[in-house]
A and B are shown apart, each in its own frame.
Chain A
Amino acid sequence: QQQVKQSPQSLIVQKGGISIINCAYENTAFDYFPWYQQFPGKGPALLIAIRPDVSEKKEGRFTISFNKSAKQFSLHIMDSQPGDSATYFCAASMTRTALIFGKGTTLSVSS
């Protein structure tokens, strides 16, 4: 049973465009929702995270939108750049448990 479902699997966006990646979760006890960015040959790196008592969090060009009733959250990358080309993972956890990751979205930003 996959607890965190991520879509799309891959995404191609023009430079300057908006990249949107979606995640849906099942366990209402989750209380932490991070997004990680991974480049080839590297480990995942934390990009931005949100708690369920907040509907939106913005850090620079990256925004998480959180919909608790729909059990969904999404990552928006504004003004996408070629350097943003990477694999993005959503994840979720609850207190005292390990992070559960989605299957990832490969983003390609074309110049």
Chain B
Amino acid sequence: DTGVSQDPRHKITKRGQNVTFRCDPISEHNRLYWYRQTLGQGPEFLTYFQNEAQLEKSRLLSDRFSAERPKGSFSTLEIQRTEQGDSAMYLCASSFGVWGGSSYNSPLHFGNGTRLTVT
């Protein structure tokens, strides 16, 4: 168990460019979450996968954001036409849970995030 791995750790891009981040969850975890965290704020939920199915998306996730989890393993988060307001830490988390089960028994494990700076 090597924990949740995110790549890259840092990304600097120019406004208007597209960026893609990768998350490798803990191997036996079937749930994967993306959160965004700006300075001085708590993590804000973006989207959630159970295996390969994207089950929930936040209103924060504009049309420029897309997430995938092919084969229910790693996940990618793509931001198209980046804007300065997209600058944030993008956190991935994973857990193992059964449908309808309590979150108490399936705690989230976070990676160390990808820090995006849009200039």
> Which of A12-20, A61-69, A77-85, A98-106 makes up part of the contact surface?
A98-106
Most buried by A among B42, B93, B112, B113: B42
Within 8 A of A (CB), among B22-72: 33, 40-45, 48, 56, 58
For residues 57 through 111 of chain A, which have their beta carbon under 8 Å from a beta carbon of chain B?
89, 91, 93-104
- List residues of chain A with CB within 8 A of the CB of B111: 43
Q: How far is the CA of A99 from the CA of B111 in the complex (A)?
A: 15
Q: Which of B33, B58, B103, B112 contacts A32 (CB 8 A)?
A: B103
Q: Assess whether A8 is interfacial by the CB under 8 Å rule.
A: no
CB distance A46 to B101 under 8 Å? Answer: no
B102 near A42 with CB under 8 A, answer: no
For residue B109, CB closer than 8 A to chain A, the reply is: yes
- Partner pick for A98 among B4, B33, B40, CB 8 A cutoff: B33
How distant is the Cα of A100 from the Cα of B102 in the complex, in angstroms?
15
Q: How many residues of A contact B (CB 8 A)?
A: 27
Which B residues between 90 and 104 are near A, CB-CB below 8 angstroms? 91, 93, 99-104
Interface size on B, residues (CB 8 A): 26
- How far is the CB of A40 from the nearest CB of chain B, in Å? 11
| Residues of the A chain whose Cβ atoms lie less than 8 Å from the Cβ of B91 | 43-44
- B102 touching A51, Cβ below 8 Å: yes
Docked-complex contact A96 and B100, CB < 8 angstroms: yes
Task: Decide if A100 touches B107 in the complex (CB within 8 Å).
Answer: no
Which residue on chain B has the smallest CB distance to residue A98?
B45
CA distance A96 to B50 in the complex (A): 10
Could you tell me if B110 and A44 are in contact, using CB atoms closer than 8 angstroms? yes
B104/A51 in contact, CB under 8 A: yes
Task: Write the chain B residue with the least CB distance to A9.
Answer: B40
Contacts of A101 in B (CB 8 A): 42-44
Q: Once the chains are docked, how many angstroms separate the CA of A41 from the CA of B2?
A: 18
Determine whether A26 belongs to the interface, using a CB cutoff of 8 Å to chain B: no
Whether the pair B110, A104 counts as a contact (CB closer than 8 A) is: no
Q: Which of A51, A95, A98 contacts B56 (CB 8 A)?
A: A98
Question: Contact residues of B with A, CB < 8 Å?
Answer: 4, 33, 40-45, 48, 56, 58, 91, 93, 99-104, 107-113
